[in-house]
Amino acid sequence: MDTWNFYTCLAFLWLHRFYIYSAVAFGISIWIVIQFTTTKTKKKGEKSNGNPAYFEGIEDKVVNGYATLQAKEVYVAGVKIFYGSQTGTAKRFAKGLAEAVISRNLPVEVISMGDYDPDDCLSEETTSRNICVFLVATYTDGQPTESAAWFCKWLEEAANDFRFGKTYLKGLRYAVFGLGNSVYVDHYNTVGRNIDRWLWMLSASRIMTRAEGDCNVAQSKHGSIEADFEAWKAKFLSRLQALCRGEKKPCSGKCKKGKCKSLGKQSKESSDHEHGASEYENTEAEELFETSSDEEADGEEAGGTNSVIDVEDLGSIMSHMRKAKRECELEEGDTGTNLTHRNAGRKEEGEKREMITPALREALTKQGEDLQRPDGGTRL
Ligand SMILES: Cc1cc2nc3c(=O)[nH]c(=O)nc-3n(C[C@H](O)[C@H](O)[C@H](O)COP(=O)(O)O)c2cc1C
């Protein structure tokens, strides 16, 4: 009886085997779907919880069916504050500034210039996206502090050594605050001015114009060196915030590309130039302009005593000179007497004549004659 039951069962299973297969396949599919959806939700949860596997600032995007990783632009990676101090003022200022930068959620490093070898490290700042701040004091005869001496010596040599190339520090962004005392008339804030100029000569970009703190309360712009620094710090921090947002200041009107949009400021600056104020001597007027020697056309420093012209740049300098000369000649032609007008006219004619050589003229005339139709018209 039992054996009979067993065989009946087997026969039943065999007869309904297709239903059984289907049920198993259905079960497996359900299981796969459940597994798939649970892992997906888990991953989503991890992502939104800030799992380190997902880099901050990286977004998934689907473009034409392809998933691409797109990095959000980081405009400022951090701030490096270099100080050259002897009696501690610049160091104190550096710490104060660092606290303010930290409170804005930016990484900051405070560095004594004595502990830093520019020969090894400074060029890294051209690509680091850091902002380099220099708080430097001037001492007797315009000398830097002992700690800043090597940095200054190296930078001066680099700025004046053609082997470095005038774009050696292109990409480095910086701001300088000099500490000094205007009682030392001949050497007031010399170190800050020099560092600013040497960096600029190497095509580093000022994020704002250099400022000078004056210990001489009678002369100090804000009443004391501390107040000078606080005023500069406020401007620096707002500039820093703007840079973090990726904002660019309008062109100062001195760039080669002529992209200046702030005409009002431009005219003011041009009047500054007329009065012979060099760019690194203006303090208040251009406080927020971003400049680098590489971008500026007038090459104020190229005429300075410390300038070195790279042989590679001679070609472009000569072409600039030739262009300026040509413009001068044209201007003379415009404003001069009838005689000069006639001379200019003759010159123009002469130039036109030169463009067609006798051989070319002959060939063109012949071509014209060939093209002429018998009725006197010309073929189109
Ligand atoms: C002995 C001595 C010499 C100085 N010589 C100059 C100078 O030539 N030019 C200048 O602008 N300031 C000069 N100063 C002023 C200092 O630069 C100023 O006091 C500065 O704030 C010092 O910064 P520190 O405390 O970080 O060293 C001199 C100060 C001292 C004590």
CA distances from 357 to 159, 180, 349, 351, 364 (A): 49, 68, 14, 11, 11
Dist. CA 108 → ligand 1 center (Å)? 26
Highest mean pLDDT among 169-173, 330-334, 346-350: 169-173
- The residue with greater pLDDT, 312 or 218, is 218
Residue 13 pLDDT: 86
Q: Is the CB of 138 under 6 A from ligand 1?
A: yes
CATH 3.20.20.140 fits 78-308, yes or no: no
Tell me the CA–centroid distance for residue 233 and ligand 1, in Å: 20
Interior angle at CA 211, CA 205 and CA 214, nearest 5: 155
Nearest residue (by CA) to ligand 1, atom 19, is 180
Note the pLDDT of residue 132.
98
147-158 pLDDT, tens digit per residue, is 999 999 999 999
139 CA distance to ligand 1 centroid (A)?
4
Tokens (6 digits) for 190 = 């010399």
Residue 269 pLDDT exceeds 80? no
Report for 86-100, 237-251, 321-335: range of highest mean pLDDT: 86-100
Going by C-alpha positions, the residue among 175, 179, 202 that lies closest to residue 79 is 175
Which one of 86, 95, 139 would you pick to mutate in the ligand 1 pocket, going by the greatest count of ligand atoms within 8 A of its CB? 139
Q: What is the pLDDT of residue 380?
A: 35
Ligand 1 pocket check for 203: Cβ under 6 Å = no
**Which of 97, 215, 224 to mutate for ligand 1's pocket (most ligand atoms within 8 Å of CB)?**
215
pLDDT average, residue stretch 82-93: 98
Would you say residue 279 has pLDDT above 50? no
Q: Is residue 87 in contact with ligand 1, taking CB distance under 6 Å? A: yes
Q: Is 169 in the pocket of ligand 1 (CB under 6 A)?
A: no
| pLDDT surpasses 80 at 252 | no
Distance CA 83, CA 106 (A): 19
Ligand 1 centroid to Cα of residue 177, in Å, is 14
Cβ(340)–Cβ(333) under 8 Å?
Answer: yes
- Tell me what the mean pLDDT of segment 183-195 comes to: 98
Please name the residues in contact with 158: beta carbons below 8 A apart, sequence gap of 6 or more: 118, 164, 168, 198, 202
Q: Is the pLDDT of residue 89 over 90?
A: yes
> What pLDDT score was predicted for residue 308?
42
Q: Which of 76-80, 164-168, 249-253, 361-365 has the lowest mean pLDDT?
A: 249-253
Confidence (pTM): 0.59
HEC profile of 208-219: CCCEEEECCCCC
Residue 352 has pLDDT above 50, yes or no: no
For residue 194 and ligand 1, the question of a CB distance below 6 A is answered with no
Rounded to an integer, what distance in angstroms lies between the CA atom of residue 19 and that of residue 35?
25
ipTM of the shown complex = 0.99
- Our answer on whether the CB atom of 181 is closer than 6 Å to any ligand 1 atom is yes
Give yes or no for residue 7 having a pLDDT over 80: yes
Q: What does the pLDDT read at residue 233? A: 98
> Where along the chain do its domains lie?
78-308, 312-349
- Indicate the top mutation candidate among 112, 136, 184 to test ligand 1's pocket, ranked by most ligand atoms within 8 A of CB: 184
CB of 86 closer than 6 A to ligand 1? yes
Cα gap 130→124, rounded to integer Å: 10
Task: Tell me how far CA of residue 252 lies from CA of 51, 118, 233, 259, 268, in angstroms.
Answer: 44, 29, 22, 9, 10
What mean pLDDT is predicted for residues 232-242? 97
Asked whether 146 lines ligand 1 (CB < 6 A), one says no
Instruction: Please indicate whether residue 192, judged by its CB atom, sits closer than 6 Å to ligand 1.
Output: no
In the chain, the percentage of residues whose pLDDT exceeds 90 is 48
Q: Is the CB of 220 under 6 A from ligand 1?
A: no
